[in-house]
Structure formats: structure tokens, C-alpha cells
Amino acid sequence: MKRRMIATMLLLSVVAASPGCGGSDGTFKRKVTPPAAEVSDKKTWSIEGQGVQNAGWAIDGDIGTRARSTEGYRTASLTIDLGKACLFNMVAIEHGDDPMGYAHMLTISTSLDGRTYTRRTLAPGNRKRSIVALVTPILAQYVRIEVDRPSYRPWSVAEIQLK
């Protein structure tokens, strides 16, 4: 009985390891599509700002131009329409040539329809570049970045990137 069990286990191990058996070709490959591949081209994006001057400069691809908040920007926000539903898990905000032009705290909210927004995270801003990592990938067409706690300087947004 013991011999038969050993023979069966040996046979199963050979069958499982052979190419074409058990759904495997003998190689183990993981096909992973990076989230950045899912974000639409910036040329299809549109943006609106509340309490922000020149909002379009935040997505124009030029780090030398920047959108800036108006005085007393306690409620400043930028809302980006990605043109289609996209998958991403990181929002990066470049502050351009004003590294101190960051908000102390930012709120990231997303929406599929542009009407109902879900608050995803409250995150700290940072000098030069504010990076907000989202715990899980988000599927959304609209992304709203809101100043939750302003800094002593106007909010400066040279470029926004989603990955």
C-alpha cells in the first residue's frame, strides 16, 4: 500500500511539472499592466478651477507655467475631466519654480459622472512636489484636488500627473 502511494505521488509530481499539463507550459509568467498605462493622454483632459487663476496651465505639459490660487484661497480646488474613465493610484502635483507654493493638506475626491464625488484621501502637501498615493487603484473620469489646509503662500500648481 505504501509503495503504491509513493508511486502515485511521484507520478502526480511528474505530470504537474511537465509542460502542457495542469494548465502550465512549464514557465511562470505574470502579465501585469501598470496603472500608468490606463490613464488617458493629457491632451484629452480638461480642467476647471475654483479660487485658482490660469487653471489650464496645471495640465499643459510645461513645468514653467503654473496655476496659482487667488488671495485667501481657503477653498481653492482643481477639477480635472480625464475624458474617459481611467485607472490610477497616484496623484502628483509639481509646484514649479515656487517650491513653497504648496497646501499643507489636500483632499483628493473622484467621480465617474462629474456630479457625485467620493472623498478618497486627505494627504499632506510637500515642498516642490506633493505626491498622494492612493491605497487601491481608483477608476474615475473626474478628479478633484481641494486645499483642505492652506499654507502661508499662494497654492502653486505647475503640473498634475496621474499614475
Domains of the chain with CATH codes: 37-162 (2.60.120.260)
% of the chain residues with pLDDT over 90 = 63
Work out the number of other CB atoms within 10 angstroms of the CB of residue 131. 15
What are the distances in angstroms from CA 40 to CA 16, 35, 141?
42, 11, 10
When pLDDT is cut at 50, 70 and 90, the band that residue 107 belongs to is very high
Better-scored residue on pLDDT, 26 or 40:
40
Instruction: Give pLDDT tens digits for 45-96.
Output: 999 999 999 999 999 999 999 999 987 777 899 999 999 999 999 999 999 9
pLDDT at 36: 44
Between CA 79 and CA 96 the distance in angstroms is 19
pLDDT at 32: 54
